[in-house]
Structure 1
Amino acid sequence: MTPAWVKDAVFYQIFPDRFRIGQGPAAQPAPVPADLEPWEAPPTLRGFKGGNLWGVIEKLDYLKDLGFNALYLCPIFSSTANHRYHTTDYFQVDPILGGNEALRQLVQEAHRRGMRVILDGVFNHCGRGHFAFQHVMENEAASPYKDWFYIYKFPLNAYSKHPNYAAWWNNPELPKFNTNNPQCREYLLSVAEHWLDYGIDGWRLDVPNEIDDDEFWREFRRRVKAKNPEAYIVGEIWDDARRWLQGDQFDAVMNYPLGRAVLGFVGGEALDRDLAAKSGLGRLESLGALACHHRLEELFNRYSWEVVTAQMNLMTSHDTPRLYSLLRGEVERVRLALATLFTLPGAPTVYYGEEIGMAGGHDPDNRRGMIWDDSRWQTSIQATIRQMAALRRHLPALRHGRYQYLYAQDGRLAFARVYERESVVVTINASPETWRVHIPLHGLWPRGEQVADLISGQAGRCVGGDLEDGLLPPFSLAVWQALG
């Protein structure tokens, strides 16, 4: 079984160095390093802007007001990189982020507000500064840690373009762990357990497919679930993930294929395909409503329903261009794309800054400092997220209901979410013309039933088994509910 709370989750992804510089508690103010990259300056690959976990704590109420009830934090452990995928100490929260005490307080404050916290687990590789790798660099064949890595020969040449060890994508900064080594394996599994004792609610696993050892992940699951049966284990798998979603490894994956389908449908001719093609999203194509439906239905049939309702559904992340830029600044399409995400099975996930319309191209431009000047916010996007999160919270069908196809033509898609005796109908107009809704309900509601769109408040009718009389403006969405 997947964790029950994830079906009700609305995730907000935070890149800690770029979210907010917090002050820390009055008794122990957070030390802010000198020589930081200016917050508003274009981000660079190596620059640190100084965001910390105290800043996240300061904005928990802002996030809760928008409807978010779960946080996914990019790596927070000691590292020599601003993104912290170059881990040097897995048992220490980076001092720049506030150290272990900041995480302890973040988890406490989040839980006090009914919010969950999951951390990014980078178990495939570490940074060159990790103690075990440093030991091998200093002692070479005499090091008891040499078998923690895939060493080809000595010297390691760790600061050359051609290192003598296996590294993630041949990047010498990221030596790859040998998880077949019992001591290395135990070390990594103990990391997973340690932070669960701190109260975190799960792990997002970085490039888990590169640890080509299903038994490692089975043991990981056993150890994590023994600590907390409700801990969420979600893997970064960009495509078909059936291998890892049989109930013995991960609970879910980051559902990029669903995001690509939504982007293709809502983005249409506005979609910046060149920008997408040079990122992890790959080549995105415009999708008509029927093609989008087929993509979605295939995804929902690919996995068990337990997994489908626990998927981390997202369109963008720290590894992709931003939504506002992918849709060429067309705010109506941005709002519609996000609204659509909230109506589909799985947990909607929003990358920091998308709720205010931040722009951003390829890494590192997609990791700009969060804008806290509200005069520069696209508040209509915030309003959409707030409204859709509230609808999801109050309608069990949007969280648990099965997807039932109703209608698809050109840029117009309709489907139902059916849960026990409750059902809602979602109509999406991804075209530039107004849509006078007339769609078959296939017996979903009785003839003559009065219905209303819970977003706009407009009324509709069930006539002869069809939903009629609703008007959808261009690039808008309605969620219909029977009033009887």
Structure 2
Amino acid sequence: MNLEALYHRHKQNWAFIYHGKAVKVRMRTMRDDVQAVEMSWGDKYDWYGTVRHRPMYKLISDARYDYWETEVEACNGRLSYRFAVVDGEERIYYGERWCAAEEPPDSFGNFEYPYVSAADGIHPPEWVKDAVFYQIFPDRFARGSHAAPSDRFAVWGSVPTKQNTFGGDLQGVLDHLDYLTDLGITAIYFTPLFQAPSSHKYDTQDYYAVDPQFGTTELLRQLVAACHERGIRVMLDIVFNHTGSLFPPFRDVAEKGAHSPYADWFHISQWADAETGQPMIYETFGYEPDLPKLNMVNDRLGRYLLEVAAHWLKTTDIDGFRLDVANEVNHRFWRAFRDTVKAIKPEAYILGEIFHDAMAWLGGDQLDAVMDYPVRDIAIKFFATQRVDARMFADIVGQQLASYPQQVNEASFQLLGSHDTPRLLTLCGGSIAKLKLAALFQFTYIGAPCIYYGDEIGMSGDNDPDNRRCMIWETSQQNLELLGFYRELIVLRKTHEALRSGTFRFLHAPAGGYELAYERRAGEERLILAMNVSSQPSRLLLALPDRARQADDDGAASAAYAEIAAGVEDDVWEDLRTGETIRSSEGLLAVELEAYGSRILKRKRGEAAR
């Protein structure tokens, strides 16, 4: 047994309140190194009188480790706990201060969740895990029906550059809400709407004004209200890491130098000197001189930006913010931001753009969730380009799922493309079949899926600015079959709770192979998704869980363990597309897959399965 691989720590993604006083607890072991892990827990003030035992189940694995999980109720609100790791005759007891072959006689040195308080819980908005997002780049989605002709704008559908604009606006979105409703969209993510000189608007000039090209604050308010009437929520992109060079406080600094009242709103390392010709040197985002970085430790600046957030929530009733470059803004500000936003609208969604491990922002006091770039990256490499095999894909996904509490994963933002990436179809080499497999995974994985405008009709495009082409509205130029496929995916997700809030586990992900199968489960509902990312047909033989249950010291099975380990031997599975049924035999399920094919199977229960 590899003792160095054993790991746990209290709170964060290792021990977290999921609902009520129930705490989900995880532990790590070396992959395929141990047979079982058991958790013992009780009240440290009455250890012997309250101690209980429960087996843990294997939640997920990555390239190096297995992650085990169970759910327990804290005794009188307090949780003192340890683990027993078993492999054959070897049994190791693992606590915060010891790792020994003999069990310590008392609770000292146990791990502790000192007190289960609702205030310490992580509570993303419940609606997010049920949402289907649609990202709109306002300049390229649609021109409003009342838009006047203008020489300012390029011809709709012509080649985009980094400089040209096309006249898309909020009225254009209003005019096409029927399209979004028919598609099944329940949330819109707008890239920035605030006044700025560029087409992308990440160079904010005025935080309090909708860019005149897009419309007015009143038009935005009307749009949000119209969306709400249709059950569509609205999230705005906002940038607090940097501004544009036309932001009035920065212009004041550029003019007055150190004498400007806003001099400490930015990171100035050298002031301009007219006599020597010495320029002003300041920090920027990504070495872009037009994007000066804000000094977010400045309290006056912080209050100003919190007022900006409050203004848009109160004025337009939006449902959340996507926070650009969230990881470069200090934690203290994000805590104040959360308090401000949630005081106005408790169910507002606070989403951060962070590409790396974001647990430091996801403890329930700052962000609700992050954009899941690690899963997006490995999904592209598996489904679109086949640069990795099924085993590596599953390992990376497993690592990501183990990195965050369950409710954070459920609220994560699942994307395959955006204004910052090449189009999905382009990454798939023009293959609709590969795109469909990637989208099927996106819509059946944990988290809220987001469609980048136009992906659903087969738009293509390489890196910026080619990925920001104008939306195609002529149906003769749309891939209507693909559009229908996306509609079916959305209906599938809305119909099956297991796809929105259930457990996730891989059933098949071979090294060197490109076939994949995984299970989604919620209560009695079980779905299996099987895919073949290969030009050759394939046959999968899936090993399903057996009927064994492990009991705690009262003889009652752990609910969390039972949900995973409950028997499915010789069950009948129905293909949700064709209606065909397949019966498992002795815990094995044979699934035939066409080249670049997939199956969506649902377990049938009761008379229907006989």
Q: Give the TM-score, by structure 1 length.
A: 0.91
CA contact (8 A) 1:9 1:69 kept: yes
**Residue 237 of structure 1 aligns with which residue?**
354
Partner of 2:199: 82
Distance 2:568 2:184 in 1: 33
Partner of 2:241: 124
Counterpart for residue 426 of structure 1: 529
**Residue in 2 that maps onto 1:202:** 320
Contact 1:253–1:311, Cα closer than 8 Å, also in 2:
yes
Partner residue in 1 for 2:439:
338
User: 2:101 matched to which residue of 1?
Assistant: none
- Which residue of structure 1 lines up, in the alignment, with residue 95 of structure 2? none
Query: Across the two proteins, how many residue pairs are aligned to each other?
Result: 459
Match for 2:323: what amino acid?
A: L
Residue pair 2:530, 2:598 contacting (<8 A) in 1 also = yes
Alignment of 1:32-431 (within 5 A): 33-155=150-272, 163-197=280-314, 198-211=316-329, 213-269=330-386, 286-409=387-510, 410-431=513-534
Give yes or no for contact 2:244–2:292 (8 Å, CA) kept in 1: yes
Task: Give a deviation string over 1:304-342, Cα, whole Å, max 9, x none.
Answer: 001001100112111111111111101110111111101
Q: 1:380 Cα shift?
A: 2.6
Partner secondary structure for residue 334 of structure 2: helix
Q: In the alignment, is the contact (CA less than 8 A) between 1:445 and 1:482 conserved in 2? A: no
SS in 1 for 2:441: helix
User: Is the contact made by 1:412 and 1:428 (CA closer than 8 Å) also made in structure 2?
Assistant: yes
349-358 or 132-141, which deviates more: 132-141
Secondary structure of residue in 2 paired with 1:168: coil
Amino acid at match of 2:468: R
Shift of 1:163: 4.6
| Structure 2 residue identity aligned to 1:482 | R
Q: 2:596 aligns with which of 457, 475, 479?
A: 475
Corresponding letter in the other structure for 1:479: I
Letter in 1 for 2:592: L
Q: Deviations over 1:45-92 (max 9, x none)?
A: 111111001111122221222222111000000010100011111111
Can you list the C-alpha shifts for 1:254-287, whole angstroms capped at 9, x where unaligned? 1011111211221244xxxxxxxxxxxxxxxx22
2:378·2:396 contact (CA, 8 Å) conserved in 1?
yes
Q: What is the rounded CA distance, in whole Å, between the counterparts of 2:494 and 2:355 in structure 1?
A: 28
Shift of 1:437: 3.9
Q: For the Cα contact (< 8 Å) 1:312–1:347, is it kept in 2? A: yes
Q: Would you say the 8 A contact 1:152–1:165 is kept in 2?
A: yes
1:442-479 superposed Cα distances (whole Å, 9 cap, x missing partner): 136533432211133322112221223x4322212222
Structure 1 partner of 2:569: 447
- 2:258 & 2:321 partners in 1: Cα distance? 34
Greater C-alpha radius of gyration: 2
Q: Would the alpha carbon gap of residues 461 and 117 (structure 1) be closer, same or farther in structure 2, given more than 3 Å must change?
A: same
Residue 5 of structure 1: aligned partner = 127
Contact in 2 for aligned 1:321/1:360 (Cα 8 Å): yes
Seen in structure 2, the aligned counterparts of structure 1 residues 356 and 457 have a Cα distance that, compared at 3 Å, is same
Matched to 2:222, the amino acid is Q
Q: Which residue of the partner structure matches residue 273 of structure 1?
A: none
Structure 1 residue runs of 5 or longer lacking an equivalent are 24-28, 270-285
CA distance in 1, matches of 2:567, 2:174: 45
Q: What is the DSSP-based 3-state SS (H/G/I as helix, E as strand, rest coil) of the residue aligned with 1:87?
A: coil
- Aligned residues of 1:267 and 1:333 also touching (Cα < 8 A): yes
- Aligned mates of 1:137, 1:432 — CA distance in 2: 59
**Aligned-partner SS, 1:80:** coil
Are the counterparts in 1 of residues 270 and 279 from structure 2 also a CA contact under 8 Å?
no
CA deviation map 1:366-386 (0-9, x unaligned) = 111111111122223212211
Mean Cα deviation higher: 77-86 or 130-139: 130-139
For residues 157-194 of structure 1, the C-alpha deviation after alignment (integer angstroms, 9 at most, x for no partner) is 9xx99752222122221111111211111111111111
What is the alpha-carbon root mean square deviation over aligned residues? Answer: 1.8
Name the stretch that deviates more: 441-450 or 399-408.
441-450
CA contact (8 A) 2:272 2:278 kept: no
- Preserved contact between residue 525 and residue 603 of structure 2 (Cα < 8 Å): no
Distance of 2:568 and 2:416 partners within structure 1 = 36
My pick for the range that moved more, 226-235 or 429-438, is 429-438
Q: 1:218 and 1:37, CA in 2 relative to 1: closer, same or farther beyond 3 A?
A: same
Unaligned runs of 5+ in 2: 1-122, 547-565, 606-610
TM-score (normalised: structure 2): 0.73
* C-alpha distance 161-86 of structure 1, shift in aligned 2 (>3 A): farther
- Report how far residue 156 of structure 1 moved: 8.5
Residues of 2 paired with 1:317 and 1:308: CA distance? 20
* Corresponding residue SS for 2:231: coil
Name the CA shift for 1:265/1:128 in 2 (closer, same or farther; >3 Å).
same
Q: 2:538 maps to what in 1?
A: 435
Secondary structure at the counterpart of residue 173 of structure 1: coil
Asked if 2 retains the 8 angstrom alpha-carbon contact of 1:30 and 1:98, the reply is no
Structure 1 contact 77–90 (Cα < 8 Å) conserved: yes
In structure 1, distance between residues paired with 2:460 and 2:143:
20
Aligned 8 A contact 2:273 2:279 in 1? no
Q: Equivalents in 2 of 1:437, 1:252: separation in Å?
A: 35
Q: 1:15–1:73: 8 Å Cα contact kept in structure 2? A: yes
